[in-house]
């Protein structure tokens, strides 16, 4: 179980570029708001650089350099890079637009609404789901199958282990039984990534944590 911040091993897999896109998104959203974890990633990126430096080298030819020069000489999109960097929108905004509350939410049980956005990540086998717990609302007590990585996008929720605020990072598994409550005056919205493909049992569609399963 990981709560509030990603652990170093996960950050290392992120820095090495080994995480899937949905998992990398959860880490990235957290890093944008957590200078402490960002500085750990900076250290890990430097570890990557030193590892690369310590490995054997493979010969490169001068003719390769010539073709690189030919590419940059014919380059017309230099300005494009600059433009793109200067008008950077957050990945969340790119993915979901400006208003999380106005997404086409599907009401599930009671206070819980969900929206499956897995198809926004083509070629991935993980399920990526947004969940909304209405302000002051409660989710039924539940546990988790497999591992679920969650980041709080809006509002906050609380369970017996603590309060999870916006941009907090949570990993839960089968040992984590909890009964989350949305705290504060906003609806609590989270983004969750399921490590394993979803199994449907009987006529029940499995609901997702951290609120409900």
Partner 1 sequence: MTTLDQKPARLEGRKDPWSQLLEKVGKHQDRQAYHALFEHFGPQIKYYAMANGMASHAEELVQEVFVSIWRRSCLYDWRKAAASTWIFTIARNQRIDMLRKMKRLSVEMPVETEDLWQIPGENEDEPVTSLHRLMSERRIRESLSHLPEEQITVIAKVYMENKSHQMVADELNIPLGTVKSRVRLALNKLKVILQDQNV
Interaction between residue 99 and partner 1 (CB under 8 A)? no
Interaction between residue 147 and partner 1 (CB under 8 A)? no
CA–CA distances in Å: residue 23 to residues 55, 120, 184 = 28, 13, 27
Interaction between residue 199 and partner 1 (CB under 8 A)? no
Interaction between residue 115 and partner 1 (CB under 8 A)? no
Q: What distance lies between CA 2 and its chain's CA centroid?
A: 14
Which of 76, 83, 95, 161 binds partner 1 (CB under 8 A)? It is 95
Q: Please enumerate in sequence order all residues whose Cβ is within 8 A of that of 121, keeping only pairs 6 or more positions apart, or say none.
A: 20, 21, 22, 128
Residue tagged 């990981």 (tokens): 2
Q: Nearest to residue 121, comparing CAs of 53, 195, 25?
A: 25
Cβ neighbour number for residue 42 with a 10 Å cutoff: 13
Q: Which stretch binds partner 1 (CB under 8 A): 23-31, 171-179, 189-197, 200-208?
A: 23-31
Interaction between residue 163 and partner 1 (CB under 8 A)? no
Q: Which residues bind partner 1 (CB under 8 A)?
A: 4-5, 7-9, 11-18, 21, 24-25, 28, 31-32, 35-40, 42-60, 64-65, 67-69, 71-72, 75, 77-78, 81-82, 85, 88, 91, 94-95, 120-123
């Amino acid at each position: 179980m990981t709560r509030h911040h990603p652990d170093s091993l996960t950050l290392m897999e992120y820095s090495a570029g080994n995480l899937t896109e949905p998992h990398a998104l959860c880490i990235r959203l957290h890093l944008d708001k957590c200078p402490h974890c960002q500085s750990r990633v900076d250290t890990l990126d430097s570890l990557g650089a030193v590892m690369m430096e310590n490995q054997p080298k493979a010969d490169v030819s001068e003719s390769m350099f010539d073709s690189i020069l030919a590419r940059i000489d014919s380059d017309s999109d230099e300005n494009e890079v600059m433009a793109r960097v200067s008008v950077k929108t957050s990945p969340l905004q790119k993915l979901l637009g400006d208003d999380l509350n106005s997404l086409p939410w599907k009401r599930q049980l009671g206070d819980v609404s969900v929206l499956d956005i897995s198809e926004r990540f083509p070629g991935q086998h993980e399920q990526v789901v947004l969940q909304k717990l209405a302000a002051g609302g409660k989710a039924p007590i539940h546990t988790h199958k497999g591992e679920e990585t969650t980041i709080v996008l809006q509002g906050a929720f609380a369970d017996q282990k603590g309060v999870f605020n916006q941009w907090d990072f949570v990993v839960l598994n089968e040992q984590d039984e909890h009964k989350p409550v949305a705290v504060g005056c906003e609806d609590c919205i989270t983004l969750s990534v399921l490590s394993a493909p979803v199994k449907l049992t009987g006529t029940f569609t499995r609901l997702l944590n951290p609120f409900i399963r």
